[in-house]
Each structure stands twice: as C-alpha cells, then as structure tokens.
Amino acid sequence: MTTVSEHAPNPAAGDPSRPIGFGRIQRKEDPRFVRGRGNYVDDIVLPGMLHGAILRAPVAHARLLSIDASEALAHPKVVAVITGKDLEALNLAWAPTLSADVQAVLVTDKVRFQGQEVAFVVAEDRYAARDALELINVDYEFLPPVIDARKALDDGAPVIRDDLPGRTDNHIFDWEAGDAAETDAIFASADVVVAQELVYPRVHPAPMETCGAVADYDTVDGRLTLYETTQAPHAHRTLYAMVAGIPEHKIRVVSPDIGGGFGNKVGIYPGYILAVVGSIVTGKPVKWVEDRSENLMSTSFARDYIMQGEIAATKEGRILALRTNVLADHGAFNATAQPTKNPAGFFHIFTGSYDLAAAHCKVTGVYTNKAPGGVAYACSFRVTEAVYLVERMVDILARKLEMDPAELRLKNFIKPEQFPYANKTGWVYDSGNYEPAMRLSMEMAGYDELRREQKEKRERGELMGIGISFFTETVGAGPRKHFDIVGLGMADGAELRIHPTGKAVVRISVQSQGQGHETTFAQIVAEELGIPPEDIDVVHGDTDQTPFGLGTYGSRSTPVSGGAVAMVSRKVRDKARFIAAAMLETRAEDLEWEKGRWFVKGDPSAGKTISEIALGAHGTLTLPDGVDGNLDAEVTYDPPNLTFPFGAYICVVDIDPGTGHVKVRRFIAVDDCGTRINPMIIEGQVHGGLTDGVGMALMEMISFDEDGNCLSGSFMDYLIPTAMEVPDWETGFTVTPSPHHPIGAKGIGESATVGSPPAVVNAIVDALAPYGVTHMDMPCTPARVWEAMQGRTRPPV
Amino acid sequence: MQIPASFDYDRATDVAHAIALLQRHGPETRVVAGGHSLLPMMKLRLARPERLIDINDLRELDFIRRDGTMLRVGALVRHTALLESAEVAQLFPIIRDAEQVIADPVVRNRGTIGGSLCQADPAEDLSTVCDVLAAVAIIRGPGGERSLPMAQFHRGPYETAVAPDELLCEIHFPIHPLSSSAYEKVERRTGDWAVTAAGATVTLSEDGSIADAAVGLTAVGLDGVVAGIAELLRGRPPGEELFAEAGLLAAAAARPIEDQRGPVDYKRHLADELTRRVLRRACARAAQTRAQKG
Amino acid sequence: MRMNGGEVTRDVEPRVLLVHYIRDVLGLTGTHWGCDTSNCGTCVVLMDGEPVKSCTVLAAMAAGHDIRTVEGLANGATLDPVQQGFMEEHGLQCGFCTPGMMLTARALLDRNPDPDDAEIRQAISGQICRCTGYATIVRSVKWAAKNPLGTDSGTGAAEPGDTPATEDVKA
C-alpha cells in the first residue's frame, strides 16, 4: 500500500536544542485505557447511589390519558416514580432546546415520537428499576403520525406541536443563503443544467458508550455534582442553571472519560435532567444510563435532508452556479445543537471547493413524529450534507458532460491566489491549495491505471467503480460576533500554570471523547514553551477545574481551544521574559527566545530556561513592577475566522453483479488540516471518519415504518462497519497552514466523515454506469444496489 | 442495559438429569446452551421462561465423531468447533462455508449447533444446511430416544418437534462418497442474518453426471429443501444451463417477504443466483473428490 | 469462578449477566458494554481462554470457569505486548472497545502467533470500534505479534496497585 502518512518520529526528537513539541508521540491517556482504568460514567459508583430507568412511549403519536404507577411504587426496591405531572409541579416538564424551541422532559400532554420519555423510575438497583417499568400502566389515545417529511406541510397534516401557542402546521423555519435572482439568471442562460434529488438519510452517531449521568444533589448545601456523558460541560452547566434554577456556582458538571461522542453527547437529554430531579427528590445520588435501543431511538440523530440539487455549467465544463432546496426533518422538537443564527448549520458551504459565479440555497425545517436532533455524527454543523450535495452534483455533471470527474474538479477549483476567498453564500475561506492535494491523491491511487483496469473489467462485465470527493470544511466556530449557542459566544478559555519546578498544568474548556486532548494540548504548550509534553498535565471535563468554553464538537477543539492554548502559552512566555530579565539583570527587550529559554542577545550562554524562570517567579527575586510572583496566565480565545480544512478522497469499489454486494477495495485520503500537531492522532481521526463514511454510504440508516415505529433500534438493524467492511486506509497529506490561527492548525476531527460518503457513492454510481445508473441514494445495501441495476432507484425509507 | 426478567436456574449434570429437570418443571422451562439466541430475547423480555436449565456441563453432547457412513455431531458442539473441524470440512464443506458466515467469531465461540436448530429462526443458516444434508435429529425425552429427519424436526418459524420435556442430543449427517456441498449467503454486513442464502449438496455418478442433489434456501420462507431439484438434476452432467434451470426452480419455490433486507423480487433473484453458485461450487468440489478417489 | 487468576465466590440472582457481575459485583470496570444484542463486542472477556460476549453469558453459567478481563492482561507493572502494541500503533481512541479488542487479540495470538491482516480482521469482526477505523488495531496486533516479549519500556506508566484487582474481590 502506498501509505504516505508519516510514521516517522518527530523531527525534533533527539535534538536537545529543540525539545519535543509537534510530532508523533504516544498518547498520554493510553496507559489508563489499556489497563481498563478509564473512568466512564457507568463506572462511577457513589455511596447510597440509586438507579434510574425511563419508561418510553411505544408509539409515535398519541395523547397521554393516564399513568398509574401504584404497582411500580409498591415494588419493594422502588424509591420513586416521577411522571410529567410531577415535573409540571416543579416547572420542569419542558426544557429549552439548543435551537430556541422546547422539548418535553417527560410527556405531559402528548407523545410525539416513539421512544419519548414518559416516566422515570428510581430504584435501589438497576435490575429493580428495569423491572418496575413493566409495572407502570399508561393509557394512550393513538393519533395519526407524520413520518414522511414530504407530507409534514400538507394541508390537514396532524399538527405535532400543538403545545406551542397558535401553532397550526409543522413548519419550523425557512432559511436561505446566496442570491436567488443572480443564481436563477445564470441557470436560465447556462449551456448545461443538471438536476437531481439527493436524500441524505437519517443516521445516528451511535458512540460505543451510550449516554448517561450520575446526579448527586447535596440537600444540605444545595450543591449539584453531575457526572455526564457530555461534550460540552460548561454549556450544560449554564443551561442547567437557567432551567433548574440552581445557582451556577452550586453546579459542578464533570465529563469523565467519554466512550465516543461524534455529536451524540452535545445536547441535553431528558435522562440527564431526570437523574438530577431523581437526586433532588430522593436526596441520594442517582445514576441513569440508557441502553442501546434508547440511544438509537431517542437521542440526537443526524442528517435527514432531502435536497433538490441543480448545477449549471458551460459545455466546456466550467461550473457556473449551484442551487438547492432542502427539506430538513428535525423530528418532534427542534433540538439541533448548532449556532443560533444558523438553523441549517453551515450547510451554505455547499459551494464546496469551486469558484462559482452564483449560488443559492433554501432550507425548510419541519416537525415530524420522530426523535429530535439533526446536528450530530461528526457533521461540522451540516457540512456533511453540503459536501455530499456538491460532490454528487459535480459527479453527475461530469457524467452529463462525459468528462473525467477528476478533470472537471481540477478545472473548477478555487485557485491558490484567490485566497482568502469569499464564496457566494457569505463565507470567507481562510486558505487553500487544492490542486496539489488532488494530484497527490490521484498519484497515490494510481488513478490512470485504475481507469484502465476499470475499462478492461467493464469489457468482461465486471463492475468496478472509482469515486472522487474533494471537500472543503468550515470548522472552529467561531468568532463571537457571528456565532453563539443560546446566547453563549463560541469562545474557549485556557489557563496555564507553570509550577515552581517547571512542570505545568493547562486547563482547557473543551473535552475529549477519544481525540487525545491530553496529548495534543500538551504538545501545543510544549511547542510554545519547550516543556516536554510528559511534564504537562492537561485538565479538562470538569467545570470546577477548567475555564469556561463551549466544548468539543464541530471540529472546534484545535481551531478554538488549540488557539487558546497557544495564546496562553505565549502569554506565559511574554511574562517569563520579564522575570528572566530580572534574573539576568538585564532588560526584557535585550532577551531573545529559543524554544524553552530566554537568553541575552549576542550571549547565548547567559539565559534562563522556563523551568528556571518558574522557580525564579516563585522565589525571592525582586520582580519588576506589575509582574506578580507566578508564571501563570489565562486567556479566552475568540477566533477571528473559521478554519477551512480540505481534502481529496478516492474510493475504489467492486460490485458483485449477481448480488449487488459492494466491496470497498481501496480508499485513498489526502487531508490538509494545516499545521499537524500529532500526525498519529490526525491519522487516527481520519481513519475513524472514513469508516463512518463507508458506514453511511453502505449500511447505516435509522428507518421507520409508516406508523412511526423505529426499525433501527438495535445494533442488529442499525449496522455499523466491522473490520471486514473497510480496507486498509491509504492516507496522505498536504500542509496549508491557517493564516489566522496562532499555530496554523485547522482541525481534523470531522474531515473524513464529511468528505468520504460522496466518494463511496460516486464510486458505486461509477461502477453501475453500464446499467445507466446516474444516481442512487444511501445506504447502498446489496438490495438497493440491485434495484438500481434494475433501473429502480428509490429514495430510502 | 437491558436485563432479563427473573427466573430460576439449574445446571444439569448429564442428559438424564436435564430431562428430569425439564419434566419436573414443566413447559415454562427452557434449555440454555450458548445462550446467544435465548438471552437477547429474554433481555428484550420477548421470552420470559420461569426457569433455565443450563446444559453446558453436558460434555457427553460435545463431540464430532465419524461412525461408519454417518457423521455424528453432539448438540453442544460450538460453531467454532464445527468451523475448525478438518473432518467436517472434508466431508461437508457446506458446514464450513456456513459457519464462516454465522454471526461472528466471538458469538461462534459460545453458540451451539443444537441451540441454532432449536431456535429455528427462519434466517438460521444451519437449518438450511441440515435440510440439505438430510440430517437426522436425535432427541431424548422421558420416553427414550427418537430420531427425526429434518423435515419433521422443523415445524415452522421458531418451532420444532422437540417437546418441552425433550432434549436435542445429536445430529447425524449421512456420508455419501463422491458427494460435496456448498453454502453462500448474502448479508448486509458481516455478522448479519442472511438477506438470502442457499446451500447445495451434490452426489456425482462414476460417469460424472449428477446422481443426487438437494438445494435449500435461507430466509425466504421455504420449509425444507427446494422440491424437484433432485428430479431435475439427476442423470444430467453439471453445467451452467442446468444450474440456471435449478436456479429458476429455486426462485419459484422461494416465498420471501419484503423487509429491511430487501424487496421480494431481489430475494427471489438471490435464490436463483445463489442456487446457481452453490451448485456450481458443490459440483466442482464433488468432481475434485471424485478425481482424488479415482 | 476464577477471575484473573484468583478464586471469587458471590451469591447472585440467576439472571445477573456476567458483564454486570464483573462490573457491579466485583467492581472491575475495565469491561464495558455497548449494546444489548451481542453485536458490539465491547463486553468481550476471555472464558477459558476464548473470547465471549459477557452481556450474553449469565454469571451463573460462568461459575467454575476461568475468566480473564482487561485487568488481568498485564503482569503487574509489565504490560502485555498487546497492550503495548495498542499504545505504539494508536489502536485506541476513546478506549471503550479497547479492552474487548485486546482480549480477542490476546486469544488470537495465543492460537496463531503470526496472524496476517485478514486473520486479524476476521478475529475482531464481532466487535465494533467507532473511532479507529480498525487499521491501527490491525497494526497494533501485528506489533504484538512481532514483539512477543514486548519492550522493556512498555510498562505504560504503571502505578502502584495496578495489579489485577482480584485481591479485592476474593470471597
């Protein structure tokens, strides 16, 4: 395999003049994990802890008539049963969502999706809590559900949100970006226009650890400690303070080790709130951990976009414009976790990597009787949908023009000299250099040779496909003047303390779910200050221990918190200069920095290391005016812009013509995430995302029957790739640093999830070209591929 | 996490003990071996037995033994043991083909052939394999032992002829020289239940023509083997046209239903396609066996 | 049953799943669970040396058997080569599937000291990893195969008391 990804050690390793900063080093978090010493939410056991379980609605739409919990309460191990009525009395039956809507914590009036929370049992052990669910009798009056988003706005469609005053339909929002008139004018005169409906099915992040919480409310001092599977502990704390009326300083949210997040653990779920209520009611700690069915049926799904795409071009293959109308299924409550001003997330980056004359998108959000959510699964706030749209449309255009899809892309890329590039929907791309990445991926793939092989195979009736995707991400939200979530600016804090012996602790506001923050952020400090990463502790995931910030999602940790950590390190370095000057009895401006050390210009032997300066700061030295006796600093970093990672992906598939079974034979991924902090971790992030992409393209989907029963409520039916379905990834990279980020890094967490699905689908459609197939929707299961071969492509249900 | 409802538990020490326990505790008692079919159903509370009889200590049911013209397989033989047995692979490659695609290696370490057959899931691969190989189930109960051919063992989805106080103890596979077999499954993903699968066994004559054959289908609503296959193939030399005829017969016999794994016509198409494939492979293997013997 | 080499005895309800026995009764939380249907393999432990899904085994069924969990992989301060391999080759991210993956890898290497990629992928095909995309897990297992004695430095920053917790749970 031509794996260009570096396995080489840090170039600085072994060079004493350049202590290790960036480069491939082992992860600091691994020793505890390989010993089974991680500390996940379900591992937490507190004295006297009780266990909660949620009774969930068996149907999608029904009026709640009555709940009889007397039998459950009579169970000898049951301590409490909480219903919607109980919450109403506490004014907690409804909670605000992250999208200016409300969501029922427990049903009071009406069930709005299958799996919705109806009652909460608190018992002495988890087995008793489960048993007691069967002892609660609920009467429902069944109502017709709205399952198909296309029918949500029909006249006479059942109104799902009759809880909202004056609501007479299922419409949530209309939102648009770009210039419709300008775009329409270009379409009207273009040589070639191609249209295609693209359905991005509902999928689920399904981290291996489900969601859960342990709430511990101290009735004496009114203090709540909440251990939660959350990607955003600070934002959660603020929202709990707003919702539950517990003063914010009395709330401590701890996000311990998290078994994967992928956006599933951004929102506040009823289960978390119920654990808190359970603890307040019983005066004891209460643990609630959902099972897998609850996770798949009730927590944040992703995608569910029906997109009408149109692309306009000249007959020579110059792409002119792109437009789309999107129907967005948001489920029963608008609970998407995204910036307030962006109800469709960052979908309007759908112009992709191309220099267009015009573009316009319109997104309409609707309610349906399905679980709420919508922004999750490593989507970079809906860049997944955007990239899928543009990369499928470009491929469809290439077919129409009978052009090679690589050639068409190369012809239309934004040129390096056009950066910073303002696209037609309001983004300013900070940097990019697309052609080298595209060329590298083609070289690694042996693109021309693959096309030759494909031609030969086609002549023999064999089905082989080559699919390309070239994506541009927009991540690292974001500048506070543009982005907030429920009014909280999307900035992140960092605090750095250098202990007297030169060891350090850096406290960050983002939180790892496996991304390796304890390593990466130590490496940033190491690079900036010359302290070895092993001497730097990274503290995260505990609101009592860390500065405020919005958390880890949308690939924002490195672009935002990484910037904060670099800046706080520089602040320490600047302060160290004054202290070093005092120690060396010289002026600060006479000192020069080399990694790890301030020294006198022209006299390298006269210098002080960070470690020496730290001791000096805490010692008896007389410090200059205005410099206090420590080597600590704190910052809140407000990024000036988002970052725009990009990549070129090539997928090779073989399809069994007799069964429709797709085998992903090869996948070549060239990523550019700017400055690379730890190549090993970057490669790992890419690998994981590529697997997500293969999963979505081939098998993952949350589906429903027409009554609204979720058909994908377990891992028997919500299929995730195993080691057998994915190839040995071939990764490569280019480096185009972000011009505005302190260290030039752009973020990598979601690039591959965003970029890979269209590569796989493009490859499958390419393989099926002999059958006249120009498009098929995901998931490309054997049955659906076979149907496409019979000329019967149909949207997934 | 999902948790089963309460039940009582006994560990049987031998077959007689297991049968005595079944007899004593009545029809709400279930036998558990690997547990990979039963326990998930119990966790979902779709199955709620009052008592489980654990037969994992019944080493007397854990054997693979050739006995004249028969291969005897104990009901407690784990899938992994079947997959790894050289003798099974040589005599009945269909079993190895199937075992490679039954669930996953970790599940196969626990699941047993007896458990699979008694669960009688319509998508169960080994049921098809046993049908095709004309296996015989040896069942013991309070009244002694009885043998049932597969056609009588299966009573429809999730139903077998094993009475509540009986225990499936062995499966007998008749050995035919100059025979071979094959199995192929289409699945949405490794470890998934079959969209459709097919198994075939073929016995060749000395002259290379087909002396006998059987084809079975998995997950398409067919009980037992495809009728008329033996009649169609007997006496004719193996070949693509013949396999195609057999495929059409299999497709016509299939009674699939539409579900998340695919529509009816796709599954019927697979019955056809996979029948041709397994016959092709079984014939090639049988020819190889014949060449080695010759 | 024997748990990581030590005898443990507890009276439990017949319905207690082995995974809950290990986690909740014995307090060995290195074994995780991720589904209810024996699909994800997060709960894999070794039973008499073979990987099994402990969410689909009753604790009572494991009585008299030898169970090994991730806490029993290292020999005191010295990590098993599989553990070292996972650290060397970035075979883990969130760490949730990792104990099960490592135990399956250990069982594989015990039977087949030099597996190829396909054999490794097959062996772990009943276990889902949502983070790594599997390639680095394959590399990790191959690292362990190439370094059957591990490396001296591969102690993974062992802490005092990091020996298997069987002492705590001896009845």
Indicate which CATH number applies to the domain containing B118: 3.30.465.10
Crossing angle of the two packed helices A434-445 and A405-412, in degrees rounded to 10:
160
Question: Is the confidence at residue C157, as pLDDT, over 50?
Answer: no
Query: Would you call A178 helix, strand, or coil by DSSP?
Result: strand
Same domain, B18 and B88: no
Quick check: is B2 in a domain?
no
Domain of residue B26, CATH code? 3.30.43.10
Same domain, A511 and A626: yes
Residues in chain B: 294
Substitution target in B42, B104, B184, B188 with the highest count of A β-carbons within 10 Å is: B188
Mean pLDDT of A567-583: 97
Alpha-carbon gap, residue C20 to C25, rounded angstroms: 7
Q: Is B46 on the interface with A (CB under 8 A)?
A: no
- DSSP assignment letter at A113: S
Position B291 scores a pLDDT of 87
Same domain, B72 and B35: no
The amino acid present at A97, given as its one-letter code, is T
CB neighbourhood size of C65 (10 A)? 16
Binary contact (A658, B273; C-beta < 8 A): yes
Same domain, A457 and A331: yes
Same domain, B219 and B134: no
Q: Is A291 on the interface with C (CB under 8 A)?
A: yes
Residue A413 and residue A355 in contact, taking contact as beta carbons nearer than 8 Å:
yes
Chains that touch B (3 or more CB pairs under 8 A): A, C
Confidence of residue A11 (pLDDT cuts 50, 70, 90): very low
Rounded to a whole number of angstroms, the distance from the CA of B266 to the nearest CA of chain A is 6
What ranges make up the beta strands (E) of A610-714? 632-637, 646-655, 662-672
Chain A contact set for C24 (CB, 8 A)? 126
Same domain, A527 and A618: yes
Chains that touch C (3 or more CB pairs under 8 A): A, B
Topology alike, domains C2-72 and C81-146: no
Q: Give the residue on B whose Cα is nearest the Cα of C103.
A: B106
Same domain, B107 and B137: yes
Position A17 scores a pLDDT of 47
The amino acid present at B211, given as its one-letter code, is A
Of the three residues B174, B208, B243, the one that is the final residue of a domain is: B174
Same domain, B186 and B285: yes
Quick check: is B117 in a domain?
yes
Position B289 scores a pLDDT of 87
Confidence of residue B294 (pLDDT cuts 50, 70, 90): low
Of the three residues A637, A669, A695, the one that is the final residue of a domain is: A637
Question: Is the confidence at residue A754, as pLDDT, over 70?
Answer: yes
- The verdict on ipTM greater than 0.90 is yes
Same domain, A238 and A306: no
Domain of residue B249, CATH code? 3.30.390.50
Domain of residue A371, CATH code? 3.30.365.10
> Is domain C81-146 classified as CATH 3.40.30.10?
no
Same domain, B97 and B19: no
Sign of the dihedral through C-alpha B11, B15, B16, B21: positive
Substitution target in C130, C136, C143, C166 with the highest count of A β-carbons within 10 Å is: C130
- What phi-psi label fits residue C96: left (phi over 0), alpha (psi between -120 and 50 degrees) or beta? alpha
Confidence of residue C153 (pLDDT cuts 50, 70, 90): low
pLDDT in tens, A192-239: 999 999 999 999 999 999 999 999 999 999 999 999 999 999 999 999
pLDDT in tens, C23-44: 999 999 999 999 989 999 999 9
Domain of residue A101, CATH code? 3.90.1170.50
Same domain, A330 and A426: yes
Chain A contact set for B1 (CB, 8 A)? 126, 289, 291
* Token couple for A282: 């019983």
Of the three residues B124, B152, B174, the one that is the final residue of a domain is: B174
Alpha-carbon gap, residue A644 to A754, rounded angstroms: 13
Chain B contact set for C63 (CB, 8 A)? 11
Same domain, A335 and A294: no
Same domain, B210 and B237: yes
Mean pLDDT of A321-347: 96
A707-738 per-residue burial string, b: 16 or more CB within 10 A, e: under 16: ebbbebbbbbbbbbbbbbbbbbbbbbbbebbb
Position C152 scores a pLDDT of 64
Quick check: is B1 in a domain?
no
Q: Is A148 on the interface with B (CB under 8 A)?
A: no
Tally of domains within chain B = 3
> Which of C99, A697, A301 lies closest to B189 in space, CA to CA?
A697
Residue position matching structure tokens 């079947």? B82
Question: Is the confidence at residue A181, as pLDDT, over 50?
Answer: yes
Tally of domains within chain A = 3
Same domain, A125 and A220: yes
Binary contact (C61, B32; C-beta < 8 A): yes
Same domain, B170 and B87: yes
Domain assignment of residue A777, given as a range: 301-477+641-789
Same domain, A354 and A469: yes
Question: What pTM value is reported for the model?
Answer: 0.96
Confidence of residue C160 (pLDDT cuts 50, 70, 90): very low
Q: How many CB pairs under 8 A join A and B?
A: 60
Give the Å distances, CA to CA, from C95 to A516, A541, A664, C16, C122: 11, 16, 26, 25, 21
Question: Is the confidence at residue A609, as pLDDT, over 90?
Answer: yes
Quick check: is B135 in a domain?
yes
Same domain, B151 and B252: no
Question: Is the confidence at residue A533, as pLDDT, over 60?
Answer: yes
Same domain, B166 and B188: no
- Please report, to the nearest 10 degrees, the dihedral formed by the alpha carbons of residues C143, C148, C153, C158 taken in order: 100
CB neighbourhood size of A436 (10 A)? 15
Same domain, A354 and A443: yes
Q: Give the residue on B whose Cα is nearest the Cα of C100.
A: B106
Confidence of residue A242 (pLDDT cuts 50, 70, 90): confident
Mean pLDDT of A346-372: 98
Closest Cβ–Cβ partner in C50, C51, C61 for B54: C61
Rounded to a whole number of angstroms, the distance from the CA of B138 to the nearest CA of chain C is 25
Q: Is C30 on the interface with A (CB under 8 A)?
A: yes
Domain assignment of residue B47, given as a range: 8-54
Same domain, A217 and A360: no
Same domain, A436 and A498: no
> Is domain C2-72 classified as CATH 3.10.20.30?
yes
Same domain, B87 and B166: yes
Residue C36 and residue B46 in contact, taking contact as beta carbons nearer than 8 Å:
no
Same domain, A325 and A438: yes
Question: Is the confidence at residue A5, as pLDDT, over 50?
Answer: no
Domain range list for chain C: 2-72, 81-146
